[in-house]
Amino acid sequence: MNRRQLLLVPALAWLAASALPAAGSYAVVVSKATHADAQWRGVVDALLKKHDGTLVAYDASVDESLAALKKQFPRHVCFVARPEEATRAFVAQVHRLTRRLDDDPYTDALWGILTGYDAAAALRIAETAEPLVVRRVASGTDVALSHCTEGVWYCELVKNRMVRKEPSGQPQVLKGPDDTTKALVDSLNTYKAQLFVTSGHATERDWQIGYRYRNGQFRCKAGQLYGRDTKGQTHPIRSPNPKVYLPVGNCLMGHVLDRESMALAWMNGAGVRQMVGYTVPTWYGYGGWGMLDYFLEQPGRFTMAEAFFANHQALLHRLGTYFPQAAKADPSQARRLRVAASPEAAKAGLKAHDGRGLLFDRDHVAFYGDPAWPATMAPGPLAWEQKLTVDGATYTFEITPKLGAKSFDPVSTNGSQRGGRPIVQLLPHRVRDVQVVQGAELKALVADNFILVPTRRPARPLRLVFKASRIE
């Protein structure tokens, strides 16, 4: 009997699987001009060696790589780009390109854009091999420390409010400083946070720490970050330990405008190996805040790249299910678009505003870093268990609530578009010819590389059984 079982509570088995992609399952896409640069070619070569990858080079447009990617159909795609190439338009192109490897509207590979202040900075990211298990979290906004091993956050809304959690304790509300600039700098320099989370006002040049009260800023210069407090004092950031960064509520933090952009400084001077950020001013928030729903609040279940993938498929599913006409529109027109909410959308409590917001977010959130490098939260509390069993051509996906009627409630409501995310399970390989045997009432989506279950209520065990052919 050919039987394979994956139990994702905790899902640390994914670390090994993600760290060593199967031969042919990793592609490096790069422009010929970048590949011709000896230093940047070193970045490409490091990735190819680390992942036994395949090189795809293009002339003028990244869209030229589509045919080669369709032929290979890799699980991971890393787009190596010099800063001048990693534009807002490039991010949108990558989003659209990675949805076109087959005929369905969903993303067909876990992808990342690997860039850097210079080739040396990009090479540090490319050569990072040791998996990261996040145990120390620091944040400039409210995060669910109950799901973290330890951490600290400083409130962007209420002056002096901070919360700290020690490894063996519970989150404690404390009094923080009037100006949290130095405290946040120290959380990187001396506390050595492995996950840093921010929200509030930002541009490509700075992060404005306080949202409802006067506070300091983080700024950048020549590829380095520093804090500048309300008294004009400067606090250099020297934090080389590998970490991941989630500016979940920040405008423009993911936009590489030029070499003097915050995103490049985070990756060059603050040890960031992966980050997710908006390339535009954010207002709806699904693409950013949802990273907390999947990554931090389901600790150990997903790598950061998998959490980004899961949240984006959730966005695509919601947009396509409830606003199919909007899904075909130009995202640049989203805020002015006339969107008709379908009867199904109205039943789900969604309005035209949601259709515009989902479309706006769809192609405007970047993932930077090597998508096969595994960064996960340390195992923590999970509100439900999910288990995938593969027995020949039969796939059984079981969801077991652990907190009774509260199992599927939002963990945190801080931010925008929080909670209510579908349950997502990545498949260990691609499938086709799906036939649902049990659980049709769940209205689950079985794509070629993932399962999405929108049904979350009532909080009862859920079971989906389907037959499918494996795509080699």
Pairing label, strands 224-228, 272-278: unpaired
Return the pLDDT at 18: 36
Are 97 and 64 a contacting pair, CB within 8 Å? no
- In tens, the pLDDT along 74-100 reads 999 999 999 999 999 999 999 999 999
Rounded Cα–Cα distance for residues 79 and 148 (Å): 31
Percent helix, percent strand, percent coil in the chain, to nearest 5: 30, 30, 45
Pairing label, strands 243-246, 272-278: parallel
The neighbouring-strand residues paired with 366 are 277
**How many other β-carbons are positioned within 10 Å of the β-carbon of residue 213?**
14
- In tens, the pLDDT along 125-176 reads 999 999 999 999 999 999 999 999 999 999 999 999 999 999 999 999 999 9
Return the pLDDT at 34: 98
Rounded Cα–Cα distance for residues 355 and 190 (Å): 43
Return the pLDDT at 339: 87
Question: Cis bond leading into 242, ω under 30°?
Answer: no
Return the pLDDT at 340: 81
Return the pLDDT at 415: 97
Rounded Cα–Cα distance for residues 305 and 328 (Å): 26
Q: Which of 237, 199, 200 is nearest to 220 (CA)?
A: 237
Return the pLDDT at 8: 33
Rounded Cα–Cα distance for residues 152 and 188 (Å): 11
Are 140 and 199 a contacting pair, CB within 8 Å? yes
Return the pLDDT at 13: 32
* Residue 471 reports pLDDT greater than 70: yes
- In tens, the pLDDT along 415-449 reads 999 999 999 999 999 999 999 999 999 999 999 99
DSSP three-state, residue 191? coil
Return the pLDDT at 459: 87
Go through the domains of the chain in sequence order and give each one's CATH number: 12-127 (3.40.50), 382-471 (2.60.40)
- In tens, the pLDDT along 263-310 reads 999 999 999 999 999 999 999 999 999 999 999 999 999 999 999 999
**How many other β-carbons are positioned within 10 Å of the β-carbon of residue 305?**
25
Burial 115-154 (b: 16+ CB within 10 A, else e): bbbbbebbbbbbebeebbbbbbbbbbbbbbbebbbbbbbb
DSSP three-state, residue 134? strand
Return the pLDDT at 24: 57
Rounded Cα–Cα distance for residues 292 and 45 (Å): 33
Rounded Cα–Cα distance for residues 100 and 65 (Å): 11
Q: Which of 432, 472, 371 is nearest to 102 (CA)?
A: 432
Model confidence at 14, pLDDT cuts 50, 70, 90, reads very low
Return the pLDDT at 458: 80
* Residue 15 reports pLDDT greater than 90: no
Burial category of 248 from C-beta neighbours within 10 Å (exposed 0-12, middle 13-18, buried 19 and up):
buried
